[in-house]
Homo-oligomer: A and B are copies of this chain.
Amino acid sequence: MKVVVLVGGVGGAKLAYGLAQVLPPEDLTVIVNTGDDTWLYGLRICPDLDTITYTLSDLVNKENGWGVAGDTFNTINAMRRYGEDAWFGLGDQDMATHLLRTRWLREGQSLTEITIRLTKKLGIHQQILPMTNAPVATIVDTKEYGEIDFQTYFVRYRWQPTVKSLRLAGIDQASVSPEVETALNEADVLLIGPSNPWLSIDPILNVPGMRELIVKRDIPRVAISPIVGGEAIKGPAAKLMLELGHKAVSAEAVAHYYGDVINGYVYDVVDGDLTVPQQNVTKFETIMKTDEIKVALARNVLEWIEQWN
C-alpha cells in the first residue's frame, strides 16, 4: 500500500515517524511544506524539510521535535560577537545541512534533488520531497507589524502578532515537481498530517495543479485533525483559526475547511461525536506524546482505511 502524507513540521513529523515504522520504506512518501523556508545568514533554511529529515533519520532532538539532538550553538553565538541580531537559532550540526543545501542550490541543483541527496546520505529510505522546487514564502499580514515573513512571525515574535491574512509569495511561479506528481499518481492512500491547515497544508495544496492532482485520485484521502479538544496540540493553529475568522476552534471546523480535498477524517477520542462533511470518519488517540502512540496512530489509521473498501 503506497502512502503519501502531506506535512508541515513537528506534528506531521510525528505521524511520518509512525508511518515509517509500519510501512516498507519504499511505500512511504512525505510531501513537505516549504512555505516556511527562508534565507538567513546567507543560508537557505527549510525548517519543515529538516524536521522531517531529522525525525526519520533519528537525529532529531526529541524534546523539541526539531533540530539535532545534542546540538551546540557555537556559530550562532560567535555571530552575536560580531553584533549580529541572530534571533533565529541554528545548531552547529544543523548548520551542515544548510551549508550543503545552499551550496548545491547555488550550483543549480533543485531542492528536490538536494533533499533526496541529503536524506539518502542519512540512511533514510523513505522518500521526502519538498512540495515544489520553486521558492514560495508564506507572508503573514499582522496587525502589529504589517506584512512579515513566516519565520519573523513564528520564531522572532513567537506567533504572538495578530494575523489579518496570509499570502504565498511566489506560488504563481511554482509547479508540482515530477517526483511529487508521480508519488501522488501512484499513491494508494493520501494522508494529511495533523499539521497547521493554514500555515503548513495550504501552501502545499496551493501549488498550482496540486489540489487537482489530489482530488482527481479516487483513493482514500484522509486528514488527521490538528485540533484536539478545541486546542492546538502545538503552535498557533487555534489562535490563527479565530484570527482568520473561523467561528470556533474545533476539529469539526478543520474538517469543513478541508472539504472535498479529503474523503475521510480522523480526530481525537476526546472530541466525542462530530458531524463532518466527509463520508468516512473515525476517532483515535491522536496526541503523539510517545513513539508508541505515533506508531499506534499510524497503524490504526491505515487499518481503518483498509476496511473502507
Contact = CB atoms under 8 A, between A and B. Distances in A.
Interface stretch (A79-87, A131-139, A241-249): A79-87
Given A82-B121, A82-B122, A118-B82, A75 B93 contact: yes
Interface string A63-104: 000001001101111110111100000011111110110110
- Residue of A42, A71, A79 with most partner-chain B CB within 10 A: A42
A96 B121 contact: no
Nearest to A118: B82
A75 B41 CA distance: 15
A96 to B, nearest CB: 4
A106 interface: yes
Contact of A121 (B83, B94, B97): B83
A43 interface: yes
B100 A84 contact: yes
A56 to B, nearest CB: 14
B72 A103 contact: no
Contacts of A42: 99, 102-103, 106
A86 to B, nearest CB: 9
B72 A100 contact: no
A74 B92 contact: yes
A42 B68 CA distance: 22
B78 A75 contact: no
Contacts of A99: 41-43, 75, 79
A92 B78 contact: yes
Interface in A226-257: none
Nearest to A123: B81
Interface string A17-48: 00000000000000000000000011100000
Interface in A214-232: none
Nearest to A42: B103
Contacts of A43: 99
Interface of A: 41-43, 68, 71-72, 74-79, 81-84, 91-97, 99-100, 102-103, 106, 118, 121-122
